[in-house]
Amino acid sequence: MSALVCQKGVATLVEVRRPAELVRHGVIAGVVAGITLVAEEMVATVLLGGNASDPFRLVASVVFGRQALSREFAIWIPLLVGTAAHLLLSVLFGLVFVLLVAGAYQLSARVPLLLLYGVLYGLALWEINVLTVLHLLFPQLAPLMRLDNQIWNGIVSYAIFYGLVLGAYIAFARPGVVAEWKRKAR
Amino acid sequence: MDSGIDLGFPLWIRLTHLFNILFITLLIRSGIEILAAHPKLYLNEDCTPGTEWIRFTPRQMPKDQFWTGKDEQEAYSSWVSLPGGKHLGLGRQWHFLGVLGWVLTGLIYVTLLFVTPEWRRLVPTSWDIFPQAWQSALVYLRLDLPPDGNPFNAAQQLVYFSIIFVLSPLQILTGLAMAPSVAARFPWYTALFGGRQRARSLHFLGLVAFVSFIVHHITLVVAHGLGDESAAIVLGVERGASSTQQSLAVAIMAAWIGFVIVVNVWATRSARHSPRTMQHALQCVIDPVLRFLLHHLDSRQHYRPEQRTMSPRPNGWPPKNAQYEALARDGFTGWALEVRGLVEQPLRLTLADLVAMERHSQVTEHNCIQGWSYVAVWTGVPLRAVLERCRPLPRARYLVLHAMDNKSESEPDPEGPGYFYETIDLTLAQDSQTLLAYEMNGERLSIPHGAPVRLRVETQLGFKMVKWLCAIELIESYGDVGEGQGGWREDFQHYSQDASI
C-alpha cells in the first residue's frame, strides 16, 4: 500500500479493480456456479422422474436439434457438447456478473446484498435465456418446458444454484478487497 | 374482467404512453445524478459513516483525517446520469422538470381513465383477479402466452395497476418527504415513512422497481409479438394488424425512442457546456411552481434533545486564513457581525452581544442537498430579533449572508473562487426557527460546524445555512451580488436560489 501523500484534500481508500483480476475471478465464479448448477439439475431431473443425462441432451439439442433428446442418440455426444456449451455459457455469464458488480461499485457490498444480487441475476438470466432467447431461437424446445421442470430446473436452479453461488463467490473472494485497496488523493 | 365494452387503445392512452417514456428516462438519469452526490443509503437519520445499508462508491472514507460530506460525492458517467460529472445543481433541476412533466402526464392519464370506461382496463373489480393472475403467471412459466384480455390479461392488469396506483404515488410521496420545507412544516408526514433517510431509501427502491418493470415490460412485449403490441400502443389497432400496420407502428415507436435519446443527449450536452443558460431555462419553469407550493411553509420541527446525532457530519472546509485563525485562537472574542445595507440602523454585534440578546433553542434536522441528514440542538438569536434592532428599509427584500471562508483558499477542490455567501428573502429570515446559532448540542459551535456563528433556516437545504458568518447585508435584489444568481453555490454549482426541496 502506497504512503498517504496528500497536500490538499482527502486521501481515501479506493477499490482496486484490475481488469485481468476481474476476468480471472469471473471465470472461476462461472465455473464454480456452472458445476453447481449442472449437479443440481441432474439431481432435480432424476427426482422429477427423468434421466440424469436429460439436462445434457437438452443443451446438446440446441446444436443437434430434437434428435439429441432421443435415447437412441449416443450419450457421449450430449455429454461432451452439453458440458462444453454449459461451461462456456456459465463462464460468460459469471464474467458478466463480476463486471456488473464491479461496475456498480458493489465489490465491497455487504454479504446479504451480494447474495441478493446473485439471486436476482440468476432470475434475470432465467428470464432472458429460457423465457425469451429459447422461446425465440429454439421454439422446438418450448413444448418440453413443463411447469414443474420450469420451477425446479429453471427458477430455483438459476436463482439459487447459479446466482446465489456467484454472489457467494464474490463475498468469499472479494476481488478488490480492502487489504488491496490503495490510498488515492481526490 | 371482461366488461363487454371494447376498451382498446384510444389516442390519449397512446400519447400519454409516449410522453411517459420521455419523462421517465429524464427522471431516472437525473435521479442517478442526485444519488451520486451522496451515493449511500441509510435506515437512520444520523447517516453515521459506515451505517449505510448500500453504497454506490468504491471509496471508503478515512478514519485518521478530517473530511467533509462533499468528499463523498462521486462523478458518474453521463451515460447513466443526467448530466453526470458532479453537476448536482442541474441534475436536480432536470429531475424536478421531469417530475412536473411526469406528474402532469399522469394526471391527464388518470383523469381520462376515470371519466371514460377505460378505468376498467386497470382497476380490478373482483378478488378473482388474484387467482386469475396466478394462472396467467403459470402460463408464462410454461413458456406460453395467456389469452388476451380486454385489453390485458389478469397478470398484466395487476402489474399495470400496481405501477400506476401504488408505485408511482409512492415515488411522488417519498420524493416530497425528502423536501426540507415539507419535513419542517409537517414532521409527521416524513415520520410516516420512518424519516427522511428511509424515504430516500424507499425512493431508490422505487427507482429499482421502475427499471425492473421497464426491462420486464419490454421483454414481454417482444415475447407477445413486437409488431402486434406496437400496432396496439402506437396505432390503436388491437387484433389482426396487417404486416404494414405492424411495420409502421414499430417504425414510429423506434422514431420516438430516437427522439427520446436525442432529448437526453441534448439535455446532457447543454447542461455540461452551457450550464448558466440551462440553469436559467430550467428555473423559469420550476421555480414558480416550487415557490407556489413550498415557499410559504414555516418550520415547526420539535425533535427531542435525545434524538440528536452523536457525530454529525460537517460539510465545507473551514476558512484557511490568518485572520480567521487569529480570531479562533482568541475564542472569537475579537469577532463581530456587521449588519449593513438597506437598514435604518447599521449594527456591529460581538459574540457577547448576540449571547446577551433573546435566546432560543430548537432541535431540528439538518438536510444536506447531497441527501444526508442529522439532528442537532441549536441555540442562538432569532434573526427576527436582529432585524427588529436594525430596522430594514421598505426597499429591502433579501439578506446576503457573508462568510469568512474564501473558497479558493479553503477548499481542496473548489467549484468556484472568492468568499462564500448566500441570500435568503425577508420572509424566510423572519421565520420563527430562523436563527443565528452560536451553540450546537449545548456547546459552543465548533469550527467545522461554523464557529463562531452560523445561520439556521430550517425549511431550506443545508447549503443556505451559511457558516463562519461575518456580515449580513440587506439588499433589494441579488442581481448585482457575485455572479447574480442568489448565492455562491447558485453562481458556481448552478443550484436553485430557492432551496425548499
Residue of chain B with shortest Cα separation from A112: B53
Averaged pLDDT, B126-139:
89
CB contact under 8 A, B59 and A8: no
Query: Is A10 within 8 Å of B141 when comparing Cβ atoms?
Result: no
The reply to whether residue B142 touches residue A150, judged by beta carbons under 8 angstroms, is yes
Q: Do B71 and A15 touch (CB under 8 A)?
A: no
- Using the Cβ of B213 and the Cβ atoms of chain A, whether some distance falls under 8 Å is answered with no
Q: Do A13 and B138 touch (CB under 8 A)?
A: no
Per-residue pLDDT tens digits for B18-59: 999 999 999 999 999 999 999 999 999 999 988 999 999 988
pLDDT band (50, 70, 90) for residue B410: confident
B54 contacts A109? CB cut-off 8 A: yes
Residue type, B374: Y
Residues of A with CB under 8 A from a CB of B: 8-15, 17, 104-110, 113, 124, 127-128, 130-132, 134-136, 142, 145-147, 150-151, 154-155, 176, 178, 181, 186
What distance in Å separates residue B375's CA from the closest CA in chain A? 25
For B62-95, how does the pLDDT look when each residue is reduced to its tens digit (9 = 90+)? Answer: 887 888 888 899 999 999 999 999 999 999 999 9
Whether residue A2 is predicted with pLDDT greater than 50 in this model: the reply is no
A54-64 and A76-103 helices, crossing angle to 10°: 90
Answer whether B144 touches A (CB < 8 Å): yes
Restricting to B residues 367-426, those with a Cβ less than 8 Å away from any Cβ of A are 412-413
For strands B40-41 and B435-440, give the pairing. Answer: unpaired
Out of A14, A113, A132, whose CB is closest to B54?
A113
CA angle at residue B77 from B73 to B81, to 5 degrees? 80
Residues A79-104 have a mean pLDDT of 92
Whether the pLDDT of residue B166 is over 90: the answer is yes
Q: In this complex, how many residue pairs, one in chain A and one in chain B, have their CB atoms less than 8 Å apart? A: 81
3-class SS string, B47-95 = CCCCCCCEECCCEECCCCCCCCHHHHCCCCCCCCCCCCCCCHHHHHHHH
Average pLDDT value for residue range B462-479: 97
- pTM to 2 decimal places: 0.90
Domains of chain A, residue spans: 25-175
State the Cα–Cα distance between residues B218 and B161, nearest whole angstrom. Answer: 17
Domains by residue range for chain B, with CATH: 11-56+88-294 (1.20.950.20), 305-493 (3.90.420.10)
**Cell numbers that stand for B358 in this block:** 433573546
Contact yes or no for A127 and B413 at CB 8 A: no
β-strand partners of A169: none
Percent of chain B's residues with pLDDT above 90:
77
CA triplet A113, A117, A122: central angle to 5 degrees? Answer: 150
Rounded to a whole number of angstroms, the distance from the CA of B410 to the nearest CA of chain A is 9
**Which residues of chain B have a CB within 8 Å of the CB of A108?**
58, 60
**Three cell numbers, residue B191:** 415520520
- In which band, very low, low, confident or very high, does the pLDDT at A3 lie, cut at 50, 70 and 90? very low
8 Å CB contact of A109 and B216? no
pLDDT digits (tens, 9 = 90+) for B350-397: 999 999 999 999 999 999 999 999 999 999 999 999 999 999 999 999
Nine-digit cell string for B341: 445595507
* Mean pLDDT computed over A175-179: 62
Closest residue in chain B to residue A184, using alpha carbons only:
B59
Residue A180: predicted pLDDT: 46
Identify which of A14, A107, A150 has the shortest CB distance to residue B141: A150
When pLDDT is averaged across residues B282-307 and rounded to a whole number, the result is 90
- Burial letters for A37-55: b for 16+ Cβ neighbours within 10 Å, e otherwise? bbebbbebbeeeebeebbb
Q: What is the pLDDT of residue A10?
A: 67
Mean pLDDT across chain B: 93
DSSP annotation string for B180-233: HHHHHH-HHHHHHTTSHHHHHHHHHHHHHHHHHHHHHHHHHHHHHHHHHHHIII
Given the DSSP bridges, would you call strands B454-456 and B59-60 parallel, antiparallel or unpaired? unpaired
Asked if A104 lies within 8 A of B56 by C-beta distance, the reply is yes
Q: pLDDT of A14-71, one tens digit each? A: 777 788 889 999 999 999 999 999 999 889 888 888 888 888 888 888 778 778 888 8
**Interface check B141 vs A, CB under 8 A:** yes
pLDDT at B18: 97
> Which is higher by pLDDT, A182 or B292?
B292
Nearest by CB to residue B412, choosing from A9, A14, A134, is: A9
ipTM of the complex: 0.80
Quote the CA–CA distance of B264 and B82 in Å, as a whole number: 8
Q: What is the DSSP string of B429-453?
A: HTSTT-EEEEEETTEEPPTTTTSS-
* Of A131-140, B235-244, B372-381, B436-445, the least confident: A131-140
Mean per-residue pLDDT over chain A, rounded: 82
Q: How far apart are CA B171 and CA B40, in angstroms?
A: 18
Picking from B54, B58, B412, the nearest residue to A8 by CB comes out as: B412
| β-sheet bridge partners, residue A12 | A184
At residue A183, the pLDDT reads 46
What does the pLDDT read at residue B411? Answer: 79
- Distance CA(B415)–CA(B147), nearest Å, equals 58
Cβ contact, residue pair B58, A131, below 8 Å: no
Q: Which of A169-173, B207-211, B222-226 has the lowest mean pLDDT?
A: B222-226
What is the reported pLDDT for A185? 42
- For A136, name the nearest residue in chain B, comparing CA atoms only: B223
Distance (Å) from the C-alpha of residue A73 to the closest C-alpha of chain B? 26
* Cα–Cα dist A135/B219, whole Å: 12
Tell me: pLDDT of A113 over 70: yes
**Range with the lowest mean pLDDT among A24-38, B272-286, B406-420?**
B406-420
Which residues in chain A touch residue B66, judged by CB atoms under 8 angstroms apart?
10
Share of chain B above pLDDT 70, in %: 98
Q: Which residues from chain B sit within 8 angstroms of residue A136, using beta carbons?
A: 222-223
Q: Which of A109, A132, A186 sits opposite B219 (nearest CB)?
A: A132
Are B440 and B427 a contacting pair, CB within 8 Å?
Answer: no
**Stretch B279-295: mean pLDDT, rounded?**
91
Cβ(B488)–Cβ(B468) below 8 Å: no
